[in-house]
């Protein structure tokens, strides 16, 4: 089993790269989209946690930026109807913490956004992840769950803010803090509170006049 690979980046194409070790051996490695995007330039050092998938007709090596991603990839492989390519597609769209949040929020529809996964398969994958993924390892989701916060409110508020031009990375900590302080807020109340907080600290990434009018109108509610 090849579990870790370190060497120089020789080439990238599609979702793959070639890593050449000090011994001069080149390995072709398939990567999630975000790992591929974060690779250094050609000839620079790269280190990946890897998982070797052996089939009758091929051996494929998959690489990940973190050990946690590798572990989640192997959890996904234990689910029937999920092959290596589907598992890679899932991890290209969702990080491990995202998958734990999906489980905690029971957001089955989120899995249908992965290419090749329909509603029936999404439901099956969700049920399997519910028992196989350690959701308690994600601090944000665990705190919200421990406080009885319906995850759908958190998700719906983030989606609403995204529609107004705010990025999820900016908004998630703000929304989390609001829901922890006021756990009984519904989507409308939480969205209003988030907009007021963000207006004081963060400008939306999309500052078109129409978006700003929507924000001002929301703040006046």
Has residue 80 been placed in a domain? yes
DSSP-assigned letters across all residues of 176-211:
HHHHHH-TT--HHHHHHHHHHHHHHH---S---HHH
Q: Are residues 215 and 153 in the same domain?
A: yes
pLDDT tens per residue, range 112-167:
999 889 999 999 999 999 888 765 444 444 444 444 444 557 777 877 888 888 87
Distance CA 125, CA 81 (A): 8
Question: 163 with 106: CB under 8 angstroms?
Answer: no
Ranges under pLDDT 50 in the chain: 136-150, 207-211, 213-215, 217, 219, 221
Has residue 142 been placed in a domain? no
Has residue 193 been placed in a domain? yes
| DSSP at 18 | E
CATH number of the domain within which 93 lies: 1.10.150.20
Number of separate domains in the chain: 3
Write the Ramachandran bin of 111: left for phi over 0, alpha for psi from -120 to 50, otherwise beta: alpha
User: What pLDDT is stored for residue 217 in this prediction?
Assistant: 44
DSSP helix/strand/coil, 74: helix
CA atoms within 13 A on the CB side of 118: 2
DSSP-assigned letters across all residues of 111-167:
GGGSTT--HHHHHHHHHHHHHHS-GGG-HHHHHHHHTT--HHHHHHHHHHHHHTT--
Has residue 110 been placed in a domain? yes
Domain boundary among 65, 85, 114: 65
Residue 179, domain extent: 147-219
Domain boundary among 38, 65, 92: 65
Distance CA 159, CA 44 (A): 38
Distance CA 77, CA 90 (A): 11
User: What pLDDT is stored for residue 176 in this prediction?
Assistant: 77
Q: Are residues 37 and 53 in the same domain?
A: yes
Q: Are residues 159 and 98 in the same domain?
A: no
Q: Are residues 129 and 154 in the same domain?
A: no
Has residue 140 been placed in a domain? no
Q: Are residues 77 and 61 in the same domain?
A: no
CATH number of the domain within which 20 lies: 2.40.50.140
Q: Are residues 15 and 49 in the same domain?
A: yes
C-beta neighbour count of 21 within 10 angstroms:
12
Has residue 153 been placed in a domain? yes
Q: Are residues 78 and 57 in the same domain?
A: no
User: What pLDDT is stored for residue 152 in this prediction?
Assistant: 59
The separation between CA 155 and the C-alpha centre of its own chain, rounded to angstroms, equals 13
User: What pLDDT is stored for residue 148 in this prediction?
Assistant: 41
Q: Are residues 119 and 173 in the same domain?
A: no
Buried b (16+ CB within 10 A) or exposed e, 73-105: bebbeebeebebebbbbbbbbbbbbbbbbbbbb
User: What pLDDT is stored for residue 188 in this prediction?
Assistant: 84
Has residue 141 been placed in a domain? no
User: What pLDDT is stored for residue 216 in this prediction?
Assistant: 52
């Amino acid at each position: 089993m090849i579990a870790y690979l370190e060497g120089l980046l020789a080439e990238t194409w599609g979702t793959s790269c070639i890593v050449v070790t000090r011994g001069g051996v080149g390995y072709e490695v398939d990567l999630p989209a975000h790992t591929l995007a974060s690779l250094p330039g050609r000839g620079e050092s790269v280190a990946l946690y890897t998982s070797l998938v052996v089939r009758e007709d091929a051996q494929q090596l998959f690489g990940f930026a973190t050990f946690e991603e590798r572990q989640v990839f192997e959890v996904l492989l234990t689910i029937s109807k999920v092959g290596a390519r589907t598992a890679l597609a899932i991890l290209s769209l969702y990080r491990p913490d995202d998958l734990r949040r999906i489980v905690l929020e029971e957001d089955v529809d989120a899995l249908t956004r992965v290419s090749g996964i329909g509603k029936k398969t999404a439901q099956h994958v969700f049920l399997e992840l519910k028992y196989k993924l350690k959701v308690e390892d994600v601090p944000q989701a665990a705190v919200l769950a421990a406080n009885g916060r319906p995850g759908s409110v958190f998700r719906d508020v983030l989606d609403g803010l995204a529609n107004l031009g705010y990025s999820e990375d900016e908004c998630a900590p703000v929304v989390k803090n609001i829901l922890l302080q006021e756990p009984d807020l519904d989507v409308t109340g939480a969205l209003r509170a988030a907009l007021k907080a963000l207006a004081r600290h963060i400008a939306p990434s999309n500052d078109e006049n129409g978006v700003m009018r929507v924000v001002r109108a929301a703040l006046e509610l």
